Structure 1
């Protein structure tokens, strides 16, 4: 293992917030809010919260504790972490409902745009002697009709063997275990990386306070992040998990789906693992 560094909730939160704000500014306000939808959703959400208050007869002491916690959640910059862990999986289900292609999953708070581009095959930037079992991950991007998609962008990122992400934890080189690949004429890509590690989301901030108060664990199973995009097709964002890994059955983010669980086999030389996973894109 590397010299373990511990990212604080504040550091991770501020990094996640900054990355989101940059992307939000780039997106602009192309989709104006529908007043009727905002009215309906806000009204129902607030009434659902009031119903919980009535059901459990919330006291003023508990109300003030909740109020203080919400303030701390903002001060710690943890809204991206909190929303991505506890809310995004439901939004993702709705966003991809009815698609015939590959199953999606949450993006999470640790995506960073403009990673190094490595062609159709290669090794993401990593430290000399990067800890972890070598993993050869490869596959094909194709349409729902079975045609290969040339030039699809396979955006790849993952945590290291300590469960830490570059750009979000101190002491990790920029772009470590992050890269973009572009499929060849047959829609193929190949990535030589390392097997990731399960990790505990930061618990020293407001999110950790909630987890402790509710008696919930803070662990996510090891996973690879993939975002596949191509002109004329819906982008698929997903996470790929590993058969038999810790917390694959009780992921705190509730993002694991059976279709996303990998079962690697040993490489021919016995020095690592290999696994294939193909991505099927729906037409936009």
Structure 2
């Protein structure tokens, strides 16, 4: 399957994806004032620099290797790939630290492909998609609950995903603006029922600086297919997570290292038509 889908994925270039991700991140940051005090900056930056120095000493880094690093760091900025690099290799650790005391559904990084203000949809909804959208139909059902097990009516689920070719709307050419993106408002019983298609595994863009790192290190660039959800409810912490599929390609070797056992779905065939269905409750922690 992955070989058949590769040509479509190559349409998502590092340049276009990086530019879109950078623009989205900078737009979000404009609304956030810096809050880190100088002592915290000194501690974090100082330890980061010292850790880099220790790596240089331990591995006897040469000037040729150092110059290659400088060239790569410069190029990753020119490619607009800092959001991609940080999201793929570091954000999952920040997320784990930030949410380690929470008892609800496990979190995951937001990633670079979130776009706010997707179309609002009712609790029983179909994500916006093209006519005859390629892929296996998927019915995703469940409830939004508090950690005490109480239903949370009026909660919202922002959902976004790659399509059957592994590409995201607004980050790849030729897709409708809100393809496979929506904001679902759950019902009075806190239930939701969302019709979509199963997302495909995809490679992160490999024609830029992140791809050069992956090639030089002999890694693969694949992420398993996943659904992104961002759950908000009054009086509760926002949950951001990714849901994967049992038996899916690269679930056990995600380039981002973001898969958690609790987030793996196990869909079953629907009884009266094509596709599969899965039930999964989304549980959020009180503030």
Which interval holds the TM-score relative to the shorter structure? over 0.9
Measured in 1, the distance between the counterparts of 2:173 and 2:79 equals 17
Indicate which of 9, 14, 31 corresponds to 1:9: 14
Q: Which moved more, 1:266-275 or 1:70-79?
A: 266-275
2:277 maps to 1:274: yes
Match of 2:120, SS state, is coil
Report deviation, 1:36: 1.2
Cα distance in 2, alignment partners of residues 171 and 64 from structure 1: 39
2:251 alignment counterpart: 248
Q: 1:95 aligns with which of 90, 95, 98?
A: 98
Residue 21 of structure 1: aligned partner = 26
Shift of the alpha carbon at 1:263? 0.4
| TM-score (norm: length of structure 2) | 0.96
Q: Matched residues in 1 for 2:105 and 2:189: separation?
A: 18
Report whether the alignment pairs 1:165 with 2:173: no
Alpha-carbon distance in structure 2 between the residues aligned to 1:142 and 1:151: 11
Structure 1 consecutive aligned stretches of length 4 or more whose deviation exceeds 3 Å: none
Residue segments in structure 1 that go unaligned for 5+ positions in a row = none
Q: Deviations over 1:94-131 (max 9, x none)?
A: 11111111111111100000000012121111111110
Structure 2 CA distance for aligned equivalents of residues 256 and 100 of structure 1 = 18
Q: 1:238 aligns to what? A: 241
Please state how far the C-alpha of 1:280 moved relative to its aligned partner: 1.1
2:78 paired with 1:72: no
Distance 2:62 2:150 in 1: 60
TM-score by length of 1: 0.97
CA distance in 2, matches of 1:66, 1:154: 41
Specify the alignment match of 1:85 in structure 2.
88
Partner of 2:187: 184
In the alignment, the residues of structure 1 paired with residue 46 and residue 30 of structure 2 have an alpha-carbon distance, to the nearest angstrom, of 28
The alpha-carbon deviation at position 145 of structure 1 amounts to: 1.2
Cα distance in 2, alignment partners of residues 35 and 119 from structure 1: 46
Alignment of 1:204-219 (within 5 A): 204-219=207-222
Residue of structure 2 in register with 1:260 after alignment? 263
